[in-house]
Amino acid sequence: MFTSTKEHFITFEGIDGCGKSTQAKLLLEKLNEEGCKSILVREPGGTRISEAVREILLTKGMDELQNRTEALLMTASRAQLTDEVILPNLHKGNWVVADRYTDSTLAYQGGGRELNLDWLIKLNSFATNDLNPDMTVIVDIVPEEGQRRRASDNPDRIEKSGMDFQQNVRKMYLEIAKRFPDRIFVTDGHETIENIHRKIWNEIKRRYFL
Ligand code: ADP
Ligand code: TYD
């Protein structure tokens, strides 16, 4: 069993279909196998209230939803998840693995919807009480590959925003990665599931356990 005294809040990010949910689950299994008590959460959602907000955000046909409303609902869902689940678990010493968190709002509402980044950063701070992930994994793929991987899915409201939108989201993720090089680990999502998992695990061992 590994021991580590640091806080353990790991987030996964990337465009739709990049493979981050697959990697988040594999990491959770690996951590639990190693004796590190861990939970997995997803955004938007993860609590009763946040799941209700998710319904509004992702339901097709809600076309009149304004971009600022979208940003406020994403961060409202985050505030509830942070207070109800993430902080209590971190305080107990558990690991928290999150499938999306604050960077999604910067990438989608900032890069994709072109809302002002400074406002979004403030909104994120308010929603999280200034909680930041200790490490963020961006699983990076080209939008064409994301679309291929989601081909059989029924696209939700945001996934229907198109290729240019996904391109802008990806561009913003890569900009954020440059801005926070210590926190963010970018990994090539075109590799095999096993290779990506191995790279992420090696990085976690390097940061937390060596
Ligand atoms: P996301 O959570 O980023 O939307 P998922 O993890 O749900 O993506 O993966 C989307 C689809 O792509 C799933 O069918 C999954 O099995 C597949 N997939 C995930 N990672 C890879 C990979 N590295 N190579 C090929 N297919 C992958
Ligand atoms: P979801 O079905 O969870 O997709 P994925 O498996 O790709 O994470 O849908 C979440 C959608 O919400 C996804 O398109 C990204 C978007 N989103 C934002 O636009 N802003 C945010 O802050 C968050 C958390 C998600």
Q: Which residue's CA is minimally distant from atom 8 of ligand 2?
A: 16
The answer, yes or no, to whether any atom of ligand 1 lies below 6 A from the CB of 16, is yes
Q: Where are the domains of the chain?
A: 9-208
CATH fold, domain 9-208, is: Rossmann fold (3.40.50)
CA nearest to 48, candidates 68, 75, 77: 77
Q: Which atom of ligand 2 is nearest to the CA of 101?
A: 24
> In terms of C-beta density within 10 A (0-12 exposed, 13-18 middle, 19 or more buried), how is residue 189 classed?
buried
Query: Can you tell me the distance from the alpha carbon of 194 to that of 207, in angstroms, rounded to the nearest whole number?
Result: 20
Q: Is the pLDDT of residue 4 over 60?
A: no
Which pLDDT band holds residue 106 (cuts at 50, 70, 90)?
very high
Q: What distance in angstroms lies between residue 54's CA and the mean position of ligand 1's atoms?
A: 21
Q: What would the pLDDT profile of 133-186 be if each residue is shown by its tens digit?
A: 999 999 999 999 999 998 878 888 888 889 999 999 999 999 999 999 999 999
Ranges of beta strands (E only) in 17-162 are 38-42, 95-99, 135-140
* Order of all β-strands in the sheet with 38-42: 38-42, 95-99, 9-13, 135-140, 184-188
Q: Is the pLDDT of residue 1 over 60?
A: no
CA nearest to 83, candidates 56, 46, 116, 55: 46
Residue 6: predicted pLDDT? 61
